[in-house]
């Protein structure tokens, strides 16, 4: 697969989260709850945009959904409690999910094919032979063509 526009938008959103978090650490102006709100909004948007074209088996999609739900839970816990340690884990989980999705889209991860070999999709129109024609119907028993019988 190749990286697309969705990946660029997701990258910009995650970069905004990381830049805001770095500014939060440097200045300390924004309360933890405010930073959690920013992470929840931008992280949710990034997940929705970046996960639209996740290919692969259901187990891969399920893994990313569970990771997204864990990240969402960390953000909500930070929003409710205001703990800085949970905020750090929440921000790291957003970056980790983004990195996994980008790596999968770039073809670095094989998205769980099991053999370590990436299988390419064949989206082009292949000409397949038509199915075999059914045999001609048989006349009922005792009736012969030509009237003999």
Angle at 112 between CA 52 and CA 54, to 5 degrees: 5
Q: What is the reported pLDDT for 98?
A: 87
User: Which one is predicted more confidently, 131 or 17?
Assistant: 17
Indicate the domain borders of the chain.
5-106
Write down the residue that tokens 């709100």 correspond to: 37
pLDDT of residue 124: 55
**DSSP 8-class letter at 1:** -
Instruction: Quick: pLDDT tens for 68-123.
Output: 899 999 999 999 988 888 999 999 999 998 888 888 777 776 655 444 444 455 55
Residue-wise pLDDT tens digits, 5-14: 888 888 899 9
Closest CA to 11 of 97, 107, 108, 116: 97
- Tokens representing 123? 């989206």
pLDDT digits (tens, 9 = 90+) for 24-71: 889 876 788 888 999 999 888 888 887 766 666 677 778 888 888 999
């Amino acid at each position: 697969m190749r990286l697309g526009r969705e990946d660029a938008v997701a990258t910009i959103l995650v970069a905004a989260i990381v830049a805001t978090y770095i500014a939060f650490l440097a200045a300390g102006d924004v309360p933890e709850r405010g930073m959690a709100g920013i992470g929840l909004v931008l992280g949710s948007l990034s997940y929705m945009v970046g996960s639209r074209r996740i290919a692969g088996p259901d187990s891969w999609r399920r893994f990313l959904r569970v990771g997204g739900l864990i990240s969402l839970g960390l953000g909500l816990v930070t929003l409710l409690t205001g703990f800085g340690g949970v905020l750090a884990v929440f921000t790291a989980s957003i970056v980790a999910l983004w990195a996994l999705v980008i790596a999968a889209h770039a073809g670095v991860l094989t998205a769980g094919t099991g053999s370590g070999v990436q299988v390419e999709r064949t989206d082009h129109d292949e000409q397949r032979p038509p199915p075999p024609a059914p045999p001609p119907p048989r006349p009922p028993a005792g009736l012969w063509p030509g009237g003999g019988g």
